[in-house]
């Protein structure tokens, strides 16, 4: 958890909340979703997601289009600016992490690689 907090401090744009960044990343990863689907993916209540996506839309990071089959709904998607922000955010954190890893002894890097495999297998079960 300390590493995750430290990496968060390397974010490219700290004007967005973690919830906003998470929602934007979900839209980038999954493609367009309805607000309700996005709320379910992010495990938040729909009214909370409405506030999150409204802020992202005002910032130009999310686009809203009509749902193709249900006129009562809309689809949200990461805008090109949103995708660019996420890429820059990841790049900054990757640079920081790569620098820290380069300072480790080679055997410590191997231990971390093995630990990552174990954590992945735990998460998959």
pLDDT digits (tens, 9 = 90+) for 71-86: 888 999 999 999 999 9
DSSP H helix total and E strand total for the chain: 6, 2
Please tell us whether the domain made up of 2-124 is placed in CATH 1.10.10.10.
Answer: yes
Residue 19: per-residue pLDDT: 93
Q: 60-78 burial, b for 16+ CB within 10 Å, e for fewer?
A: ebbbeeeeeeeeeeebbbb
* Placement of tokens 């929602």 in the chain: 23
Confidence of residue 50 (pLDDT cuts 50, 70, 90): very high
- CA quadruple 30, 61, 52, 95: dihedral positive or negative? positive
Confidence of residue 111 (pLDDT cuts 50, 70, 90): very high
Residue 70: per-residue pLDDT: 84
DSSP state of 16: S
Kindly state the average pLDDT of the residues 84-105.
Answer: 93
Cα–Cα distance list, 62 to 44, 65, 79, 80, 94 (Å) = 18, 10, 5, 8, 24
The per-residue DSSP string of 40-70 comes to HHHT--HHHHHHHHHHHHHTTSEEEEE-SS-
Kindly state the average pLDDT of the residues 38-66.
Answer: 95
């Amino acid at each position: 958890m300390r590493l995750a907090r430290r990496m968060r401090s390397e974010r490219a744009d700290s004007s967005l909340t973690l919830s906003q960044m998470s929602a934007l990343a979900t839209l980038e990863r999954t493609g367009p979703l309805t607000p309700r689907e996005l709320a379910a993916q992010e495990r938040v209540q729909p009214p909370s997601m409405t506030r999150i996506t409204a802020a992202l839309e005002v910032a130009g990071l999310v686009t809203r289009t009509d749902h193709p089959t249900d006129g009562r709904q809309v689809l949200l998607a990461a805008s090109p600016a949103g995708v660019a922000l996420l890429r820059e955010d990841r790049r900054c954190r990757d640079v920081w992490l790569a620098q820290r890893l380069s300072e480790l002894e080679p055997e410590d890097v191997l231990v971390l690689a093995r630990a990552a495999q174990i954590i992945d297998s735990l998460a998959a079960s």
